[in-house]
Amino acid sequence: MSEEMYDEDEYQGTVKKLMYVNRKAPYGTIYALESLEVVLIGAAFDQDVSLVFMDDGVYQLKKGQDTKATEMKNFSPTYRALEMYDVEKLFVSEESMTDRGLTVDDLVVPVEVLDSSQMTDLMEEQDVILTF
Amino acid sequence: MKFGILVNEGPYTHQAADTAYQFTKAALEKGHEIYRIFFYHSGVNNGTRFTSPPQDDRDLVQNWSRLAEEHNVDLVVCVAAAQRRGIIDKDEANRHGKDCDNLAPGFRISGLGQLIEAAIESDRIMVFGD
């Protein structure tokens, strides 16, 4: 999916806690797909990255996505590749999961489930939060 | 303070672009630094000079261009998002065999690395969108 290389040497030494918050369903709008593109490019910068999935964003990780009839690209397998990019801290909102009848067994990747106060604490720790 | 700005929505459809512009203007007036403004998702539509709003309405694209000219603000449009939505500069037009280009003055097209760089280099990144 990535379309460019970036000179990462420039950023040796500057490591920020960088969180991506994914709040939208995978299809219907392009936010989820383009957010994933940022994560993949951003991986070259060796930052301390966390990904959060909340609200309809939890659907991005849902197993069994079939987009054939809509002619959209099913990009859910890419989440499984994040590990190779050293993006390993994935969190989901407990409330968002419960509201939608989802459990971690429904998801394509291992995640840590956080309740809203844990989520608040995690966000509090971040230097940068990018919301999509 | 050094701000990085992320604009995720296009002009006239969503107020995010207006709010980002107003915020940037106010921050500059207060003496803050704007490290970069990065346009992503449909936010890339802020960078087309083909926008022609009614005369009694604000001209947001022109406002951005003026900001770049007067305050030397770095306006960067994401290349991948721009290609999907038909925002191209001269080089891109040549590369893709298009008969014209439409990037507005003061904008430049570059990669997502510019967003991450802004996130790292700025004291604070502000995201404007839903």
Name the nearest CA neighbour of B34 among B11, B13, B14, B6.
B6
From first CA to last CA, the distance across chain B in angstroms is 24
Name the nearest CA neighbour of A102 among A70, A58, A49, A65.
A58
Count chain A–chain B contacts defined by CB atoms under 8 A: 63
Dump pLDDT digits (tens) for B81-113.
999 999 999 999 999 999 999 999 999 999 999
Quickly name the fold that domain B2-51+59-128 has: Hypothetical Protein Ychn; Chain: A, (3.40.1260)
pLDDT of residue A118 exceeding 90: yes
pLDDT of residue B68 exceeding 50: yes
Give the model's confidence band at A1: pLDDT under 50 very low, under 70 low, under 90 confident, else very high: very low
Give the model's confidence band at A5: pLDDT under 50 very low, under 70 low, under 90 confident, else very high: low
A11 to B112: CB separation less than 8 angstroms, yes or no: no
Q: If interface means Cβ-Cβ distance under 8 Å, which residues of chain B face chain A? A: 6, 8, 40-41, 79-81, 84, 111-113, 115-117, 119-120, 125, 127, 129-130
Tell the burial category of B31 from Cβ atoms under 10 Å away from its Cβ (0-12, 13-18, 19+): exposed
Which residues of B are part of the catalytic machinery?
A: 78
From first CA to last CA, the distance across chain A in angstroms is 18
pLDDT at A2: 45
A16 to B119: CB separation less than 8 angstroms, yes or no: yes
Closest to B120 (Cβ–Cβ): which among A16, A41, A131? Answer: A16
Distance CA B82, CA B88 (A): 7
On whether any CB of chain B is under 8 Å from the CB of A14, the answer is yes
| Low-confidence winner among A11-25, A101-115, B3-17, B93-107 (lowest mean pLDDT) | A11-25
The pLDDT mean for chain A works out to 93
The CATH superfamily of A14-131 is DsrEFH-like (3.40.1260.10)
A128 to B41: CB separation less than 8 angstroms, yes or no: no
B127 to A129: CB separation less than 8 angstroms, yes or no: yes
